[in-house]
Chains A and B, each alone.
Chain A
Amino acid sequence: MKFSLGKWLLPLYTLLALIFLMVPIVYTFVFSFNDSQKSNITWRGFTFDKWLNVCQVQNGAVCEAFGNSILIGVVATVAATTLGTMIAIALVRYRFRFRSQTSLLLFLPMATPEVVLGAGLAAQFLSVGVPKDMVTIILAHTMFCISFVVVTVKARVAGLDPALEEAGRDLYGSATQVFARITFPLLLPGILAAALLSFALSFDDFIITNFNSGPVTTFPKYIYVSAARGIPAEANVIASAVFIFALVIVITAQVSRAARAKRLAKQG
């Protein structure tokens, strides 16, 4: 009896823990179908309206905020992924002075609370006299994404077999050819993972954005500002759609990785 209890306790706990983690997600999803008026707190019946007419509430304020978030996320992701990938390659492949200082500079932004990063940038923009707008948000997001890109891509560069590049050089490939045809394609999965992570971090960031956005509204800022007077169900629609989209990407990546592992195992 004691044995079987011990055997079932952990799986049961895991199941309950995962259900607990899903509770607010399910709630947000369910309330995106709520036939609510102004605020979306009590259940008033099922409707598809909010999904079909997302942009009609408040003259499209939700969609405008969502659009801003996408634009900021894309630009910051491209910038951070480019800068971070370059650093990651240099860190693994080359010797240089001030190596430990460089690592510290890359680690510190991840160990600094967001409120400090946000207030610091805002204080700097204030003292230099830069007005806060879309550009300041993008500058801020790029900053905190770089470190995450570096660690993600670094692991991939470290796992790269140098023999593959040597083979390319032995076959008279130029430095550019070797990079474009061998190094870059091999690093691509790591770079894509880093880009997705950057985009997710940027898209959901509120704290740093709040300090550096001025009049610009992003999706999280829209929710924060509306929290006091009630959030329309349309916000739940956008959040749920983003959730499903992200889930599909992650599951596709997992499945294709599993399939590739199987294929490689077969080839022996």
Chain B
Amino acid sequence: MAFAAFSAGTTGTEAAPRRKSPIALLLLLPGILYLVLFFLAPLVSLLLTSFQAPSGFGDVGQYSYAFRWENYVEVITAYWPHIMRSFGYALIATVLALVFSYPLAYFIGVKARAWPLLQSLMLVLVIAPFFISFLLRTLAWKQLLSDESFVITSLKALSLIAPDAYFTGTPVAVIFGLTYNFIPFMTLPLYTTLERLDLRYLEAGSDLYARPFDVFRKITIPLSMPGIVAGTLLTFIPAAGDYINASRDFLGGPDTQMIGNVIEANFLVLQNYPAAAALSIILMSVILVIVSIYVKRSGTEELL
């Protein structure tokens, strides 16, 4: 439901002239202190943990503070495929979600403007997947697309797929799951910008003899850029760090493990905290770099 964050941030309304007052400090301090304690400090301890070295008699889960930068070399060599896979899957899922969501958001935000009730009904349907457990809806797809399922058996009967083809456990299944689960994050910010789209610009374009495709490419797309940026970030970030879809008990298999799966396994199962921390720092850094370049290049800094 993160859409609210980004969609609300785009309006940028300035209220009454701002005053300076000690009340401001009183209002800010508790929340900011909380975030420093439970958001910033954990990032610092993650960074410190990522350089830890084994201690004691080599017991599992025993580490002490050090500057063991080799941890990073080790996790990158060991988990290179997982790192690449995460960003690859997330990128494909983001593109698919954008292609799926744009026409949907366009219809709800532009074509359905004349019918507000229909518009809000369709919006409720778009966010409806949020109301059912994330894990259960992923498992529902697993069962709907399992080898013995109606969908797969009928596709085989119609010879549309090979008789020995299978779906769950493949990269296709994981990307499908990531796409499905994050579609609402893409559709909602797109809807918010398209809903505000001034149709007179489009009319002006066609009055000047632009073909419909050119109007779309040169006017509609640039005007909906804030929604595209917000939607792609809201899809890409959680998709790159997700480990539910790729998990073996859900849509994934041994060859689809992503960086999130490795972090979980190292932290919670193997108790190799430094490796998990180093991988988390890598994931976070790559995402921050991508986000800042992307936001700068698309010229939508005011979004943040």
Contacts and interface: CB of A to CB of B under 8 A. Distances in A.
B124 A251 contact: yes
Interface stretch (A50-58, A180-188, A218-226): A218-226
A133 interface: no
A115 B260 contact: yes
Interface in B225-284: 233, 237-238, 240-244, 247, 249-250, 259-260, 263-264, 267-268, 273, 276-277, 280, 283-284
Nearest to B291: A111
Contact of B35 (A106, A111, A235): A106
Interface stretch (B76-84, B125-133, B215-223): B125-133
B209 to A, nearest CB: 19
Interface residues of B, number: 98
Contact of A151 (B8, B43, B268, B291): B8
B53 interface: no
Contacts of B30: 83, 86
A27 B129 CA distance: 12
B52 to A, nearest CB: 10
B229 to A, nearest CB: 12
B125 A113 contact: no
B46 A116 contact: yes
Contacts of A258: 116-117, 120
Contacts of B24: 90, 93-96
A89 to B, nearest CB: 6
Interface stretch (B66-74, B136-144, B161-169, B199-207): B136-144
A254 interface: yes
A143 B132 contact: no
A239 interface: yes
B88 interface: no
A86 B28 CA distance: 6
Contacts of A223: 133, 135-136, 139
Given A93-B18, A120-B43, A204-B130, 14 more contacts: A14-B104, A24-B137, A27-B140, A94-B18, A94-B27, A95-B18, A105-B32, A105-B35, A113-B240, A117-B42, A120-B42, A124-B38, A124-B42, A162-B15
Interface of B: 1-2, 4-6, 8-9, 11, 13-16, 18-21, 23-25, 27-28, 30-32, 34-36, 38-43, 45-46, 48-49, 100, 103-104, 106-108, 111, 116-117, 120, 122, 124-141, 143-144, 180, 183-184, 233, 237-238, 240-244, 247, 249-250, 259-260, 263-264, 267-268, 273, 276-277, 280, 283-284, 287-288, 291, 304
* Ranked 7 nearest A-B pairs via Cβ: A113-B241, A120-B42, A94-B24, A24-B140, A83-B31, A90-B27, A246-B131
